[in-house]
Every structure is written in C-alpha cells, then in structure tokens.
Amino acid sequence: NHILQSFQYFKSEKQPLIIKTQTWNTEYPYFKEIFTKGATIGLYILPENTNNIHTYKNRYAKAHLIKNQLTWSKYPEIYLYKEAVKVYAYYPYQSQININPQNIPIYIPSDASQTKDYMCGTQAHGQRKTNKYSPIALLHMKHTLSLLNIQIRLTPEVKNSHHLKAIQIGNKFGG
C-alpha cells in the first residue's frame, strides 16, 4: 500500500509546496519555531530555469497552529512541478506587487522602538532542490536589522553625575 501511494505521488503532475520555518537553536540542541500563529510571510517562487512558466510572485502564507505544530497555508496554493525552484521569503508580508525578493523595502519610524522585526531568507544551505519530488522548503530566515543594547557603567570612584550627549556608531570606511 505504501509503495502504491509513493508511486502515485511521483506520477502526479504537481505537488503543493510545504513551508517549514524552524531554525536550529544555538543555545539548546533542538529546532525552534521563529514564528507564531497568525504570522504572514511573503513568498517568491522563482524557477532555476528562467524559461519555466510556473512562477509565483509575491504570494503570501499564513501561520496556523494545528496539533501544537505551526503549519503554513499559502494564498493561493502554490504548486511545484518537476522543475526545481528557489523559494524566497520575507516577513512581514507586504502586498506591493512588484518588489525585488532580494531587496525588500523596510520602514524605520523616528521612534525606533516602533520598528517591525523584518526578516528575510531562502532555503537552508544544503537542502535538496525544491520541486514536486521534494516539495518541502525549509526556510532559513535572518533578521535584517541589528539591535544594539548599550549599557554605560561608571566606576565606583565617579561621584558626579554626567550627561551623555551622543553615541556614534560607525562602519569601516567604504563598508
């Protein structure tokens, strides 16, 4: 029965894309889910072969919690064929039609604490080609903005109060 199901699976013309967003946790030896129920990510599915007609641009997926496991529903559903594809993802989803999946626009308000947690990524390094035979895209998402936490400590001998006027953060010249 299992062999018959496998044969029908490979015989099928197309298979739905399966999204996984768990990442390896460096603090503990297990995978950790980085999204929560209700999160929406933008998806670009681009063919490795530029002549492929099955190209999905700026679709989105929404996270649902089913039996304590996060699953992603695609809107509309994304189907894979025998041709390999590259999956680009970004968070949070933006509805603009023509944005470059490798250069997602971000908005940083004047109050930096109101800035969204932007992430982007693609399939994890070493993953098999994504197509109908291997329809799982294990997305390796990275935070696009840095978070700086600056703590100023004065030695016990410092008695007077001080006023900090500015902190300057720089990058290497030309970097």
At 25 the pLDDT is 62
Q: Which residues contact 13 (CB under 8 A, 6 or more apart)?
A: 81, 132
At 130 the pLDDT is 92
Q: What is the pTM of this model?
A: 0.71
At 95 the pLDDT is 84
Segments in the chain below pLDDT 70 = 1-11, 24-30, 49-55, 97-98, 101-102, 147, 170-175
At 134 the pLDDT is 92
At 111 the pLDDT is 76
What are the residues facing 16 on neighbouring strands? 79
At 147 the pLDDT is 67
Neighbours of 130 (CB within 10 A): 21
The pairing of strands 18-20 and 136-143 is parallel
For 26-65, how does the pLDDT look when each residue is reduced to its tens digit (9 = 90+)? 666 667 788 999 999 999 888 876 655 556 778 999 999 9
